[in-house]
Structure 1
């Protein structure tokens, strides 16, 4: 897949939303109106099938991704406008790992001015170091660039992995995914020393590679990862990825339905709001897919509880920030040696804030048995209010139970 050249680059494929409980009828209708024959994930779909068939149906989500000519797209669109099992047709987008550059004059590798001898400032800010919950028994899916399976900090830890990128193993040659896994569910006593950095350190980790080693992926890969997480009973899906959007751009109806169907099955999707702002002069809107109403969008704050200069915000009636979490100078696991930090690195972005929220969600899920909408409500109700606009921080700073 080539790298995107614009804010809303597409792959040339299309997503088709099928009406709830009408998947079989939708498959027949796509074939009838457009001659498209699609496989289903009930047939053990692999990453390769996404690129080698007319289409693939994500059975549990009721969503298809199809290779279609302009004439076929026109036929599908007309079918969506009429009563029947085909509801919505959207162009498939290119997404990427969200990373933010250091602020002008700032040292990306510099530690924040707090005591991190035992725990990172992020763990302290969300209160995870004081919580009796550990995430034990709760499954957390991190959909990203994969995971460094040989990382010494995870020796003896069972990590379930799956790659949805054609031709690439789950092993993380990028680093972003390993960093996010670490913040969500890494160790409290790393084998290589240094501060504990994992919020839900006893949660069961499911690492899905939905972004390539170059940091790019597509809607269909993300949806495949979401369906995999749901099928494996994950209570939380953490997605530090997305695509920037222009103000006023409608959210994806297809991802919104995927999120509501996931919630109905007890899976909460948490996603990064985006890093396109350049505060204080410019605030950009929450990106895709975090701008969907049923996906919990996460912004980033720094150690002083100020907004990360890059963190996207609520700028119109489409998309809003729901919670914030530590996202500046965040220390976590990395895919290779990084100078004096060993296999660890400090980076920043709403990508780093998102797994903090996912980790806290796992703690809440363990302590209260909450899933789906109840889990979202508990996270919002227990958040710490900040002296910042709700358009930037939503309900506030996420807090461990």
Structure 2
């Protein structure tokens, strides 16, 4: 249902059969830097600027591996390599992963071999006031483009093809569909998210990746005293509606995988939220109504990360430590996966190579000035490869729990590929009960104990000086707040 009147939510509050109503909400734009960590899952996925460390020479290519495989420390960390899980189970085209994100660039040479155009949908209509001029009549982009970049990066981590070019994803043989729910500008509205989850259930999708949270509230609280009755009702609607959509998707065979978030917060004791609501914006482009709210863990949720039925993923860096920005929590963390940490270096200075390398749209890079008029990268965080027929393919280093979640989603897709059965509801495909897929994913993760001491100190050397922060891990090696049940392992999951 859609309405523009300001009193719509009040007028329909008592309607039979209607759980509630909520206004469209935003997830936030991807910035050039890594600040504003409490705004959105994507807020920390851009390369940390200003570091004085640059990429070293590319490692030698391993036999049978993709040309850039030597730079994929993330895949090596979870045994998702040519000599690891790919040799046992590269993923089946009978298994489909849905990318609920800003879109997927199907023209990228490393995405195209696995992209399913017929199964893809765009549920987000561009809004000129936030997304800029519409590129097509009606403002509904085709379901094979990504003008934000984030979704293409996620898709490549899941299933970039093993085709002798660039990188390979965790599951380079599975079927990819774009279930776009995010705006070009980074906003995620509630209705497109619900539509994407429902469609995933109806269309035979096996796994969905959700690297976002549903705004305008960082935490959706059922009855926070700092919020008006209308705001409380809207947040309750978001919690209820997303949970119903997730339940429906799981009942149809979909395993939802989500990012834990990038606010460096213990989700079991979130404390204070100063960023919500982050929409609407004022004339300067800042959240007009943002204010300080005390968050009650018993009544407030980060959605969908804390929704029931979601495999919630925290992020690790190259050394295996929990990334400095990653949210965590003994109740919330299910598994961990590589998401990158630019400061996980011997000297604490930022290095793009400590982030995750994956596919990225050329058009977005050009718009951001990260490639020049000749297509040459202007930053060490972007790499360029050329196909046999002379086309350019671009890859970008990013970090965030947004990058960790697709590693887990890819492993889940391998599990369905290896252990799934024929799906009578969707002939020619495989299916596996999400409870079993989740059990394989969590049960084969590598246990990682809390650091000693449990209060871990992060050191980051920035252009403005040294910054330190701490996070405290709790729980045993097989279930703790930093790593959940452990770091996902692709090879163990299919062996």
TM-score interval w.r.t. the shorter chain? Answer: 0.7 to 0.9
Q: Does 1:128 align with 2:80?
A: yes
> Which range moves more in the overlay, 150-159 or 114-123?
114-123
Q: Distance in 2 between matches of 1:392 and 1:301?
A: 9
Q: 2:26 aligns with which of 63, 76, 94?
A: 94
Cα distance in 2 between the residues matched to 1:205 and 1:68: 35
Matched, 1:376 2:376: no
* 1:108–1:347 CA contact under 8 A, matched in 2: no
Separation in structure 2 between the aligned mates of residue 291 and residue 149 of structure 1, nearest angstrom? 31
Q: Does 1:177 align with 2:126?
A: no
Deviation of 1:241 (Å): 1.3
CA distance in 1, matches of 2:190, 2:73: 33
1:293 aligns with 2:308: yes
2:486: which partner in 1? 396
Q: Give the match's secondary structure for 1:344.
A: strand
Is residue 85 from structure 1 mapped to residue 41 from structure 2 by the alignment? Answer: no
Report the CA distance between 1:165 and its aligned residue. Answer: 2.1
Note the 1:43-122 alignment, pairs <5 A: 55=1, 66-67=2-3, 69=5, 72-79=8-15, 85-96=17-28, 98-100=42-44, 106=51, 110=55, 118=65, 119=69, 120-122=72-74
Query: Aligned with 1:356: secondary structure?
Result: helix
TM-score after normalising by structure 1: 0.72
- Evaluate the alpha carbon distance shift between residue 151 and residue 108 of structure 1 in structure 2; reply closer, same or farther with a 3 A threshold: farther
8 Å CA contact 1:206–1:229 kept in 2: the answer is: no
Which moved further from structure 2: 136-145 or 206-215? Answer: 206-215
What is the root-mean-square deviation in Å for CA atoms of aligned residues?
A: 3.1
Q: Deviation at 1:346?
A: 0.7
Q: Secondary structure at the match of 1:145?
A: coil
Find 1:270's aligned residue among 229, 237, 257. 257
Tell which structure's C-alpha radius of gyration is larger: 2
1:158-307 pair list within 5 angstroms: 158-160=115-117, 161-166=120-125, 167=139, 168-170=141-143, 171-191=145-165, 194=166, 196-243=167-214, 249=221, 252-277=239-264, 287-307=302-322
Equivalenced residues, count: 325
Deviation at 1:71, TM superposition (A): 5.3
Higher helix share: 1
Partner of 1:152: 109
1:341 and 2:341 are equivalent in the alignment: no
Segments of 5+ residues of structure 2 without an aligned counterpart are 29-40, 126-138, 223-237, 272-296, 341-354, 366-370, 372-376, 385-393, 421-431, 451-472, 474-479
Q: Which runs of 4+ in 1 moved over 6 A?
A: 111-116, 282-286
C-alpha contact (below 8 Å) 1:109/1:345 kept by paired residues: no
Shift of 1:214: 1.8
Structure whose residues are more often strand by fraction: 1
TM-superposition CA deviations, 1:115-146 (whole Å, max 9, x none): 77543222121222212112211000011111
